[in-house]
C-alpha cells in the first residue's frame, strides 16, 4: 500500500510540473529540428505539388485551376508520356536485377582473405566515389561513335561499332550499362552483410558435406535476404527517379531523351515539361504519377517480403 501511495504521489507531482519541465516536452524539443525540416522540405512541397497538379501554371502568371485536365491529357493525348513510361520501366528492369546480382557476386568473391583483395575492393568501389556528372561525361566520350574507346577497340578487330547513344536500339542499353558500372555501393553493403554471417554455420554445412553452390543458396542467400530486401527497395526508388543519365548522356542539342524518346525517363520528362516547356502544373501531375508508381512498387515489395526475407529472430 505504501508503494502504491508513493507512486500516486509521484504521478501527481509529475502532472503538477509545468509543461516545459516534463520529460515528453524535452523529448519533443530534441526532435523539433527534424520535424521542422520535414514539414518545410517534404510535407509542404508535397502538398503544394498535389495542388498545382490540378492547375495550369507557367511559373510566372497566377496558377489557374483546371481540375483533372492535366491527368486526362497525360493518359489520353500526350504522345511522349507512354514512351517515358516504357523507357522508365525498361530501365528499371535492366538495372535493378543486374546490380543486385553483380553486387552480391562481387561481394562473395571479395569476401575472402586473398592477395590484393583490398585493392580490388577499392577499384570496384571507385565509381561510387567519383562525382556522377564527371563519370557520365567520361562515359559519353567512351561511347563516342568516332573517337570513343569502345569503338576504337572494336576497330582493331575490324568491327564497325554502333552509335551507342545516338541509336534507338542501343541508347537505353548503353545507359543501363553505366548504371550497372556503379555497382560498388551495393557491393560494399553486401560485403558488410556477408561478414556478419557466423562462420560456424558454414562449418556445420561442411561437416554435413554441402558444396559451395548448396551453401550459397541454402545459407548465404537466406542470411542475406534482409540486406537484399533493403537494396531492392533503394534500387527501385533510385532507378525510377534516375535523371542524370538521360540528361548528360543523351542530351543532344538540348533535346534529351535520346533518339525517338528511347531514354526519355519519367524523371527527365518532368524536368523537360517544367523547365523547357514551362508547364509546371502538368509537370506536377507527372510527379504525382511517379510518386504513385514508386509507392505501389514499394508496397508490393513490402507485402511480399514475408515469402523471401528471413530474419534470425523469427
Q: Residue 202 corresponds to which cell in the numbers above?
A: 558454414
In terms of pLDDT, which residue wins out, 175 or 1? 175
Spatial separation of the C-alpha atoms in residues 290 and 46, rounded to whole Å = 13
Spatial separation of the C-alpha atoms in residues 11 and 263, rounded to whole Å = 64
Alpha helices in 143-220 (DSSP H): 149-156, 171-181, 184-195, 199-207, 212-215
> 5 pLDDT exceeds 80?
no
Q: What is the pLDDT of residues 93-113, one digit of tens each?
A: 999 999 999 999 999 999 887
Q: State the pTM of this model.
A: 0.87
Q: What is the pLDDT of residues 119-166, one digit of tens each?
A: 888 888 988 888 989 999 999 999 998 889 999 999 999 888 899 998
* 227 within 8 A of 190, measured Cβ to Cβ: yes
* 167 within 8 A of 259, measured Cβ to Cβ: yes
Amino acid at each position: 500500500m505504501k508503494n502504491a501511495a508513493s507512486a500516486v504521489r509521484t504521478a501527481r507531482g509529475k502532472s503538477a510540473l509545468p509543461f516545459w519541465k516534463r520529460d515528453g516536452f524535452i523529448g519533443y524539443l530534441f526532435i523539433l529540428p527534424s520535424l521542422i525540416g520535414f514539414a518545410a522540405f517534404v510535407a509542404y512541397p508535397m502538398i503544394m505539388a498535389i495542388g498545382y497538379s490540378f492547375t495550369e501554371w507557367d511559373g510566372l502568371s497566377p496558377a489557374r485551376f483546371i481540375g483533372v485536365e492535366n491527368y486526362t491529357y497525360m493518359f489520353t493525348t500526350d504522345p511522349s508520356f507512354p514512351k517515358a513510361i516504357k523507357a522508365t520501366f525498361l530501365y528499371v528492369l535492366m538495372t535493378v536485377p543486374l546490380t543486385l546480382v553483380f553486387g552480391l557476386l562481387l561481394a562473395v568473391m571479395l569476401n575472402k582473405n586473398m592477395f590484393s583483395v583490398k585493392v580490388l575492393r577499392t577499384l570496384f568501389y571507385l565509381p561510387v566515389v567519383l562525382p556522377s556528372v564527371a563519370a557520365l561525361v567520361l562515359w559519353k566520350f567512351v561511347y563516342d561513335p568516332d573517337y570513343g574507346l569502345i569503338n576504337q577497340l572494336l576497330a582493331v578487330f575490324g568491327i564497325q561499332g554502333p552509335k551507342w547513344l545516338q541509336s534507338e536500339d542501343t541508347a537505353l542499353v548503353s545507359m543501363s550499362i553505366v548504371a550497372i558500372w556503379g555497382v560498388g555501393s551495393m557491393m560494399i553493403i553486401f560485403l558488410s552483410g556477408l561478414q556478419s554471417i557466423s562462420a560456424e554455420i558454414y562449418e556445420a554445412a561442411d561437416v554435413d558435406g554441402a558444396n559451395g553452390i548448396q551453401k550459397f543458396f541454402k545459407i548465404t542467400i537466406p542470411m542475406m535476404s534482409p540486406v537484399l530486401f533493403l537494396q531492392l527497395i533503394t534500387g527501385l526508388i533510385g532507378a525510377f527517379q534516375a535523371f542524370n543519365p538521360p540528361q548528360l548522356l543523351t542530351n543532344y542539342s538540348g533535346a534529351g531523351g535520346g533518339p525517338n524518346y528511347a531514354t526519355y525517363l519519367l524523371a527527365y520528362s518532368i524536368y523537360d515539361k517544367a523547365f523547357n516547356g514551362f508547364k509546371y502544373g502538368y509537370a506536377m501531375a507527372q510527379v504525382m504519377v511517379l510518386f504513385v508508381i514508386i509507392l505501389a512498387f514499394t508496397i508490393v515489395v513490402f507485402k511480399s517480403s514475408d515469402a523471401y526475407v528471413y530474419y534470425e529472430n523469427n
